[in-house]
């Protein structure tokens, strides 16, 4: 019998499993993929996320092989360009997600969690005898294809934007707006790549660029409509951009592009009786600010702390404790991200933001620092 089943071994799930196992809980960590596995991402860890992973003692496993990111370059319409170096002694990292996630899974196993990969979680195991449904475990696909019930007093759903736990219970949903899709690919031979991450904000799209340790460059295009030809969508986004087309003129795409979407997830709560949400299953706004990994790792830690509090006899249900903790931790960033989402969602907003950034670049530098959780000097 396990104390907690964690569904999803991305950063949120692995961090939650690590903290729980260190706290003495018997933890089963499940993921449908086999690791290491690829994951579409900007491949950067901002200073805030890195600080959490260092504090938890999980960064040492991957930090030596990662690239240092010293700040961000943000460009806009009409040639707006602002370069923001992080404060002295502060930096982020660039590392592909297959390496980062595999390192965090190893950390969970080293802490004492049992990890089962290649396991499909089909649904929550729900007991409806109470006034409110209570999650009592999960239903997984057995080797012979049959449903297998795995009970546990507490489940943490960290199984992503299409959570098979949160969505069927009505705890999360994909909103009608914004509807954005991300297309990612790696390139060789991109000109002008530095130790700074890049975000190029345009009407109807934005483009993220970052170096990765293999010597390649990660390019991620986020668009407001679904794409059937990702190669074409990337080529058009680059060719239409005067600040990017020359830099990619001699570049070569390595491998196939990947596409995910719609991106946004709205979560009405942090869980239910017997269930806690973490990572993208707990709500995902947009990858534009690079906050996703910090929300994941800190959210996973908060979920684990709420679970350990319940095992210690705290009277407040853990999903309510988690909701309060997440609000305290993330409320300012939620408001910030929603504001940016509204700006980027409209062409007029992008135009106005570009005019403001050109006239007062210090404001955009402050925005970049806040997005990266850079300590104030």
pLDDT of residue 350: 45
CATH class of 4-43+97-174+264-342: alpha beta
* 218 closest CA partner among 345, 37, 118, 94: 94
Name 105's Cβ contacts closer than 8 Å, sequence gap at least 6.
9, 14, 29, 35, 115
pLDDT of residue 371: 63
Looking at the DSSP bridge assignments, the partners of residue 140 are 121, 148
Write out the residue limits of the CATH 3.30.9.100 domain(s) in the chain: 50-59+67-95+181-260+346-377
Name 65's Cβ contacts closer than 8 Å, sequence gap at least 6.
95, 99, 213
Write out the residue limits of the CATH 3.50.50.60 domain(s) in the chain: 4-43+97-174+264-342
Region class of 342: left (phi > 0), else alpha (psi between -120 and 50), else beta: alpha
pLDDT of residue 342: 62
pLDDT of residue 9: 98
Task: Please identify every stretch of the chain with a pLDDT value under 50, giving residue numbers as ranges.
Answer: 348-352, 355, 377
pLDDT of residue 357: 52
Residue 177's CB is within 10 A of a number of other CB atoms, namely: 11
Name 135's Cβ contacts closer than 8 Å, sequence gap at least 6.
124, 125, 126, 127, 155, 165, 169, 272, 273, 274, 275
Residue appearing with tokens 């996973």: 300
pLDDT of residue 262: 80
Tell me if the domain spanning 50-59+67-95+181-260+346-377 has CATH number 3.40.50.2300: no
pLDDT of residue 348: 42
Region class of 124: left (phi > 0), else alpha (psi between -120 and 50), else beta: beta
pLDDT of residue 361: 55
């Amino acid at each position: 019998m396990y104390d907690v089943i964690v569904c999803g071994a991305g950063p949120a799930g692995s961090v939650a499993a690590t903290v729980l196992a260190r706290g003495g809980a018997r933890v089963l960590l499940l993921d449908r993929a086999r690791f290491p596995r690829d994951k579409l991402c900007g491949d950067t860890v901002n200073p805030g996320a890195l600080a959490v992973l260092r504090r938890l003692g999980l960064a040492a496993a991957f930090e030596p092989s990662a690239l240092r990111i010293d700040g961000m370059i943000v460009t806009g319409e009409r040639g707006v360009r602002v370069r923001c170096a992080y404060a002295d002694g502060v930096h982020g990292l660039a590392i592909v997600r297959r390496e980062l996630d595999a390192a965090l899974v190893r950390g969970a196993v080293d802490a004492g969690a049992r990890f089962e990969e290649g396991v499909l979680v089909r649904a929550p195991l729900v007991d409806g005898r109470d006034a409110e449904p209570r999650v009592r475990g999960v239903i997984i696909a057995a080797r012979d294809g049959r449903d297998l019930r795995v009970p546990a007093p507490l489940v943490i759903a960290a199984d992503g934007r299409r959570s098979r736990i949160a969505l069927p219970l009505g705890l999360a949903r994909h909103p009608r707006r914004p509807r954005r899709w991300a297309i990612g690919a790696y390139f060789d031979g991109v000109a002008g790549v530095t130790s700074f991450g890049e975000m190029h904000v345009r009407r109807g799209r934005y483009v993220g660029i970052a170096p990765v340790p293999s010597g390649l460059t990660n390019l991620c295009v986020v668009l407001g409509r679904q794409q059937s030809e990702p190669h074409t969508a990337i080529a058009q986004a680059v060719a239409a951009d005067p600040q990017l087309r020359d830099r990619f003129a001699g570049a070569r795409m390595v491998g196939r592009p990947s596409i995910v979407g719609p991106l946004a997830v709205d979560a009405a709560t942090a869980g239910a009786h017997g269930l806690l949400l973490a990572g993208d299953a707990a709500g995902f706004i947009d990858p534009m600010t690079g906050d996703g990994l910090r929300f994941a790792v800190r959210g996973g830690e908060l979920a684990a702390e709420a679970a350990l509090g319940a095992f210690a006899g705290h009277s407040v249900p853990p999903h309510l404790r988690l909701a309060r903790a997440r609000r305290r931790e993330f409320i300012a960033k939620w408001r910030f991200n929603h504001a940016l989402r509204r700006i980027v969602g409209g062409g007029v907003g992008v135009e106005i933001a570009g005019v403001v950034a050109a006239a007062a670049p210090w404001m955009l530098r402050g925005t970049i620092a806040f997005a990266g959780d850079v300590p104030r000097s």
